[in-house]
Amino acid sequence: MQTPAVVLTPPTLRTSRLVITELRAEHASVAIPAFAASHILWSRYLASAAGGDSPQVQFEKRLERSIRGWADGSRYSFLALDASTGAFVGDCNLGDIVRGNTWEASIGWRVSIDAEGRSLAFELVQAVCAWAFQPSSHASGVASHAIPRSDVGPNLHRLSAAIMPDNARSIRLAERLGFAFEGTKRALIHIGGVWHDHHIYGLVNHAWTPNPVGP
């Protein structure tokens, strides 16, 4: 059974090298050139980049989905900027959010071609996972449909990432973050004209207890 969506104010997460916020229209000037430059890195593993949309259209679609997701609590999308230069670093999304009896989400990540190999992806995804597991007032028993605070999270119990078996960098990242291999879904995602198997990696918030409000 699905409980009502938890609508949260998009937070600003800060790490030593990153500022992580929701995607906004003003990010177009830094994101679109980075999307174009990173096409060669992303299109092998990400359907959105392999689909043939221009970087501008990819940005517009992401922005529209991000705004809708934050507004109805169905998806929480984050963009990371370099804290000192303001350059686009990457993004990380929590989607397919299910509450009810599971409190889970899928998680996806990517960094720009200029940011790869500097542990910035680790910094970004670690911050988003920590926020994903952060309790919300909903979980503490306050019935709330809209929570006008940014210091609360969606209180998720479980995150899972689908990674192509040959995506060694992404698998290494997942394992470094504490995700565990859980199995393989066959022909899961259509990328570049081919159905690709994906390994599923899961991260569980062991501190999570069932929502006292109930499903």
Ligand X SMILES: CC(C)(COP(=O)(O)OP(=O)(O)OC[C@H]1O[C@@H](n2cnc3c(N)ncnc32)[C@H](O)[C@@H]1OP(=O)(O)O)[C@@H](O)C(=O)NCCC(=O)NCCS
31-57 b/e (C-beta count within 10 Å ≥ 16 → b): bbebbeebbebbbebbebbbeeeebee
The contacts of residue 160 (CB under 8 Å, 6+ apart) are: 104, 105, 106, 107, 182, 200, 201, 202, 203
Which of 94, 120, 129, 156 is in the footprint of ligand X by CB under 6 A? 120
Binding mask 171-190 for ligand X (x = CB under 6 A): -xx--x--------------
Terminal Cα distance for the chain, rounded: 7
Which of 4, 86, 100, 117 is in the footprint of ligand X by CB under 6 A? 117
Contact call for residue 45 and ligand X (CB under 6 A): yes
Which of 119, 134, 137, 160 is in the footprint of ligand X by CB under 6 A? 119
Q: How many residues bind ligand X (CB under 6 A)?
A: 22
Is the CB of residue 109 less than 8 Å from the CB of residue 91? yes
Q: Nearest approach, Cβ of 76 to ligand X (angstroms)?
A: 17
Please give the structure tokens belonging to residue 201.
């990696």
Q: Nearest approach, Cβ of 59 to ligand X (angstroms)?
A: 16
Q: Nearest approach, Cβ of 168 to ligand X (angstroms)?
A: 8
Q: Which is nearer to ligand X, 41 or 98 (CB)?
A: 41
Separation of alpha carbons 54 and 31, rounded Å: 12
Q: Among 10-18, 98-106, 120-128, 148-156, which window interacts with ligand X (CB under 6 A)?
A: 120-128
3-class state of residue 99 by DSSP: coil
Q: Nearest approach, Cβ of 174 to ligand X (angstroms)?
A: 8
Q: Which is nearer to ligand X, 155 or 179 (CB)?
A: 179
Contact call for residue 65 and ligand X (CB under 6 A): no
SS3 percent helix, strand, coil of the chain, rounded to 5, is: 30, 30, 40
Contact call for residue 48 and ligand X (CB under 6 A): no
Please give the structure tokens belonging to residue 112.
């720009």
Q: Which residue's structure tokens are 């259209």?
A: 57
Q: Which of the residues 24 through 43 are near ligand X (CB under 6 A)? A: 41-42
Interface residue list for ligand X (CB under 6 A): 41-42, 45-46, 109-111, 116-122, 161, 163, 167, 169-170, 172-173, 176
